[in-house]
Structure 1
């Protein structure tokens, strides 16, 4: 038995998402605020701690819908009409768990089979947080609102002129008052009273009365009025998600809620939270030992483990008797010592005639429990290796003196061991008296949030590779299928993501808000096994490329694909130093160096991630017959060799068409929020050595950079490509001859060219004074790259503001 997938609905940013769980290990990845934590919290609240729900766990647009439903109640109540019902199915947070159950495991699920003929396969249960008694909740809410209305009426009567002159004997209630009842809405939840307003004048002061609306009512009453109910789902009505958004099946109105949660005995859930209480604590005890925070230090875990599995006082076994005898001897010896030490003090008390003759006599008694020896900050120590010293003279430091990374690693691993042993009822835990129907849950679900905290990159990878093995290291587990373990990890670490098979990654994607009024940004979940699991050449290339480059696409706000090493070196520097790209510097951009002949292979992945993507690539002109690379020129029927331009954006091969392409031709978007723009060399009008302006057609980044900065390069000192460009400019009679010359030496030395530019200097005149300046700071960014960076900046800013696709900026 294992969880095939879960569907989370109406919970925070997760309006309707499906998350497929791998058989062993599933890793949640995605940028900040994409819904990973919401998914982990949903699992914990539905499966472990239902009392921790609050109104903040409801998807925000549903707050308004709840208020609208409640206003409809009030209006019907005031109009003496039947009260409309709330469609709780569409508003309440829910978790659908779909288990795959083998035919041999029917004994576990016999009480909630979907049909009598069911013999194995998918079995679905919905856990929904909803009113315990919907009608009682409505009556109580309307009663609260009636009290508000009566209070308002009384306040109006009390504030009326007749009341001020003593004309009213008593303030009437709502049903007795002749004051016209106000309409339902916020206005009936406010008492308008008089308040000092300077001198003897009085103004109006609005005093809000609780509850103004049902959402405010629920903030106080939710925990008492709501609970989790379980419903059986129909496997035949299960539908696949569309573009990352699930379509949970509606409940059959004729199938009531189950009497109890059927999953509680089937799934054991354990969690390692993101906040683990490591480091130094704030206070000290009288003996200067540091107090322990409520975290996950090893010393705290050891005490819990000892109490659960090892305490000899808990159901003693024959092997415990020797330890118990030793403890009793120690206790008696300690009591004897106490009696000797306090003999004088007790005699002095007796000399005061207290206690009296008939009063009880004072006697000291002690209790020695082994667990008390672990109840201090130095219960766990680390031995520090010392050169030339024997074991007896080695130095020991308390647990909190060790590095946070090591503490975190040891704490998490021991936590996993403890989870496993409690599940398997190891030691004393196995002797506890259980119900006759008790059995070890066949499924163990372990949640780990952000294990990378304080850990070195290599240790992060070690942890994620070994965590599942630790959870299975037991005689009854191993490779057996009778008891299954599923590990779910959420992370912001690319090191952890790259240590996993990409098929087990689940990408949480931020979705822009809908154009509808009141809409808020939501999230969807993409199963990357559908991207990486095909096994074709494209999938193999993407996996190997991502592994080799260790790229961080899964955590980025946007991506920039560049053609070669020169762009990879210089373009990030342009972004960091130019004011025009200030917003890009505040975003997390993933830079990937991948040529135009391969960039299009990343298209399925980038489309799945829906990342705003800028592709900085080259024209790569070629002769239509010989297929030989040539300098670009118009009207010669030239083509582009660039597969990205031919097959992705703008899906054009003709060079003249590419040179004349409009802005919209270079951008592709879809309804999911995915947007990609291609940037390649565009015609520029420049002056060569003071000649008239003429059109320059660049073929690569390097010659485009030179055309934009001819004045700098024609006198720039240097070797390699810098020298070749300088000499070519000096020898060129016009731009076409310069282009032909450049075409002959651009195949080598590009990375060296970019590195030389990072530290090259040149002479320039500022206000009539010659000065030395850094070349890299004065270079004009090629126009095609500049325009592309501005597009990406605008796209990311739009997303940051959560403006819907197609909305006015």
Structure 2
């Protein structure tokens, strides 16, 4: 059995979100403030039974909350209608046990299976924040905010204070088992039953690493010393013998030190005490000390790092934070694995790891993501379902697409997009996209906007061109202009950029493609004025879409049809394409030619230059770009790039 889906409603930005859960590892990626951490906190709130707070209720739903309560207090709707119409915070678990055999023990899941259909293999569990005050109590609780001297006169500020401060008095979390075949057939369950089904563990992003060597509840040394508090039968077999030996040594040392210290201290006391008391006929003074070496070991043990020889070592704080973060997570994971052994295989352990990449260099991040599942399998025979959140392109690129969920934010809330759905619907492009993301450090999962560029020259020049456009006032007076927006600059080339267009559409990210016109005649590269069509695969793809042709259609696309595209024709949804256009009477064939065309003085070109004069003959495009920035900082930006950047600047991220 496994958790297959989570549905969250009316929790912060998660207005109506559905998260497909992988059987082993689910990675949630996305821009900042896209409810990745909120998902974890909602799960933790439900599984610990803490209850939801007023701050958890979505801002965009609060007007409706107040409106419904006002209608009740104004006696426009009755209590039953209020109860039904109030939108509740809820979290729903879908558990799939279709792979279990009929004779298998479903253990902790059994209380939540309430249907009698043998063909049903899904259990639905819902945690819901429901109104618990009865009608009379609710009226009394709210009355002062709505009535003055018996007259209906709502005071918005007082009403807000009453509801916000008393939210947990009005609402309480309840757990239900729901019949998948009849959603009205529900049974109330206990938090104890839910906890037995879903033992869980959270490793938060803020992990105290004990950098100063001190012992605190979260330090590495503390995690190690906790082995003293574990009974031997709960210890892993590989370390149980060594821990037992250590305990025997400590026990013997305790007795020896206890006896010797008692004798020595008693002798000191008997010789030091005077004034005739106690005399020989009375009870004599002695000293009994309570020494526990194991306490010293537990409280004073800290990690150190040595060469493995001699007696030399360095304290923990001298080692890198990345290694300490990794070591700490290993100990925490081992502790969780040990704790869930008592549940056996009849539960569904959930492990939540927030931003594991903290302090790790890229290769370490890659290794962590690649071996996490293998590591968990070695420390526990219980199948653990892991949830990760990350801002690391290295972790995202390591994980298989089937495990990645993209958190997309809009003004209507956050939804979790299953990248496996895209993979199944775009099989022809997936091999390339997967290979590209694996080979290239790609940040598109974490960007607000994307710029696909042709090659090295664009990649070098675009950041400078963006700043130059901003300083020249091209982006208007809006507060957050393109230089301050989170855009990803991806070098992909005109031969492949079109493969990413459906992916950008799926992620719903504004996307600008800057590519080359690549005019050809009889498959030979020629100046634009002599060109018959283009060799650029992305432009061809775009034109077939524009003309309503099948992608497999091999009809020759006229270059004049391409160059006559309007600004509107260059936009499809949230994606926009730009290529060289005519300036100063000529049209460049590539970026380099377009730059030479509009910066003729710098390149010693006459006013009456021809396309042949614009031809780029240098061997290294990178040198061309660097020389332009260094030697001619006041260069002019070609119109097609300027037009594309202005379009991208004006795109809204949340719609």
Give TM-score, length-normalised by structure 1.
Answer: 0.71
Contact kept? 1:229, 1:261, Cα under 8 Å? no
- In structure 2, distance between residues paired with 1:147 and 1:265: 43
How many angstroms does 1:88 deviate by?
Answer: 5.4
The answer to whether the aligner puts 1:331 opposite 2:235 as a matched pair is no
Contact kept? 1:2, 1:99, Cα under 8 Å? yes
Contact kept? 1:312, 1:324, Cα under 8 Å? no
Deviations 1:76-133 (A, max 9, x none): 2xx9x844632557622211111111234354233332421235532221122333x2
Q: Which residue number corresponds to residue 278 of structure 1?
A: 209
The answer to whether the aligner puts 1:142 opposite 2:139 as a matched pair is yes
The answer to whether the aligner puts 1:570 opposite 2:461 as a matched pair is yes
Q: Which residue number corresponds to residue 590 of structure 1?
A: 488
Deviations 1:431-484 (A, max 9, x none): xxxxxxx7554322111111111111111111122222221114x72xxxxx42
Q: Which residue number corresponds to residue 628 of structure 2?
A: 757
How many angstroms does 1:330 deviate by?
Answer: 2.8
Aligned match of 2:154 in 173, 177, 185? 185
Contact kept? 2:253, 2:293, Cα under 8 Å? no
Deviations 1:484-537 (A, max 9, x none): 2211111111111112222211111121x25xxxxxxx2111111122346833
Unaligned stretches of 5+ in structure 2? 548-556
Quote the RMSD (CA, aligned, Å): 3.5
- In structure 1, distance between residues paired with 2:429 and 2:250: 69
The answer to whether the aligner puts 1:397 opposite 2:279 as a matched pair is no
Aligned match of 1:94 in 80, 90, 100? 90
Aligned-partner SS, 1:615: strand
- In structure 1, distance between residues paired with 2:635 and 2:571: 27
- In structure 2, distance between residues paired with 1:369 and 1:88: 62
How many angstroms does 1:406 deviate by?
Answer: 1.6
Deviations 1:658-694 (A, max 9, x none): 333332222222xxxxx1111111222x2xxxxxxxx
- In structure 1, distance between residues paired with 2:565 and 2:91: 49
Q: Which residue number corresponds to residue 569 of structure 2?
A: 665
How many angstroms does 1:746 deviate by?
Answer: 5.8
Q: Which residue number corresponds to residue 551 of structure 2?
A: none
How many angstroms does 1:255 deviate by?
Answer: 2.9
Deviations 1:154-204 (A, max 9, x none): xxxxxxxxxxxxxxxxxxxx4xxxxxx4424226x6xxxxxxxxxxxxxxx
Contact kept? 2:211, 2:316, Cα under 8 Å? no
Contact kept? 2:519, 2:534, Cα under 8 Å? yes
Aligned-partner SS, 1:596: coil
Q: Which residue number corresponds to residue 739 of structure 1?
A: 611
Q: Please list, as runs of the form range in 1=range in 2, the aligned pairs for 1:155-174 lying within 5 A after superposition.
A: 174=149
How many angstroms does 1:600 deviate by?
Answer: 1.0
121-130 or 227-236, larger mean C-alpha shift: 227-236
Cα pair distance change 1:545/1:661, threshold 3 Å: same
The answer to whether the aligner puts 1:620 opposite 2:518 as a matched pair is yes
Aligned-partner SS, 1:417: helix
Q: Please list, as runs of the form range in 1=range in 2, the aligned pairs for 1:369-768 lying within 5 A after superposition.
A: 370-376=294-300, 378-383=301-306, 391-394=309-312, 396-425=313-342, 439=344, 441-474=346-379, 477=381, 483-511=382-410, 513=411, 522-533=413-424, 536-578=427-469, 579-580=471-472, 583-623=481-521, 626-633=522-529, 638-648=532-542, 651=546, 653-669=557-573, 675-684=574-583, 686=584, 695-714=585-604, 729=605, 734-735=608-609, 738-740=610-612, 742=614, 749-759=620-630
- In structure 2, distance between residues paired with 1:331 and 1:311: 25
Contact kept? 2:14, 2:415, Cα under 8 Å? yes
Aligned-partner SS, 1:573: helix
Aligned-partner SS, 1:786: helix
How many angstroms does 1:61 deviate by?
Answer: 1.8
Cα pair distance change 1:778/1:354, threshold 3 Å: farther
Contact kept? 2:215, 2:299, Cα under 8 Å? no
- In structure 2, distance between residues paired with 1:565 and 1:149: 66
Aligned-partner SS, 1:712: coil
Cα pair distance change 1:612/1:280, threshold 3 Å: same
Contact kept? 2:88, 2:130, Cα under 8 Å? yes
Aligned-partner SS, 2:357: coil
- In structure 1, distance between residues paired with 2:234 and 2:353: 32
Cα pair distance change 1:35/1:326, threshold 3 Å: closer
- In structure 1, distance between residues paired with 2:278 and 2:579: 100
Aligned-partner SS, 2:15: strand
Aligned-partner SS, 2:378: coil
Contact kept? 1:14, 1:523, Cα under 8 Å? yes
How many angstroms does 1:274 deviate by?
Answer: 0.7
Contact kept? 1:416, 1:470, Cα under 8 Å? no
- In structure 2, distance between residues paired with 1:8 and 1:417: 30
Cα pair distance change 1:416/1:96, threshold 3 Å: same
Cα pair distance change 1:325/1:568, threshold 3 Å: closer
| Greater Rg over alpha carbons, structure | 1
The answer to whether the aligner puts 1:784 opposite 2:640 as a matched pair is yes
Aligned-partner SS, 2:288: coil
The answer to whether the aligner puts 1:308 opposite 2:304 as a matched pair is no
- Higher relative contact order by CA 8 Å / sep ≥ 6: 1 or 2? 2
Give TM-score, length-normalised by structure 2.
Answer: 0.86
Q: Which residue number corresponds to residue 428 of structure 1?
A: none
Aligned-partner SS, 2:189: coil
Q: Which residue number corresponds to residue 766 of structure 1?
A: none
401-410 or 261-270, larger mean C-alpha shift: 261-270
Q: How many correspondences in the alignment?
A: 629
- In structure 1, distance between residues paired with 2:430 and 2:234: 57
How many angstroms does 1:696 deviate by?
Answer: 1.7
Q: Which residue number corresponds to residue 794 of structure 1?
A: 650
Cα pair distance change 1:756/1:748, threshold 3 Å: same
- In structure 2, distance between residues paired with 1:142 and 1:405: 56
Aligned-partner SS, 2:305: strand
- In structure 2, distance between residues paired with 1:411 and 1:323: 24
Q: Which residue number corresponds to residue 127 of structure 1?
A: 127
- In structure 1, distance between residues paired with 2:119 and 2:206: 43
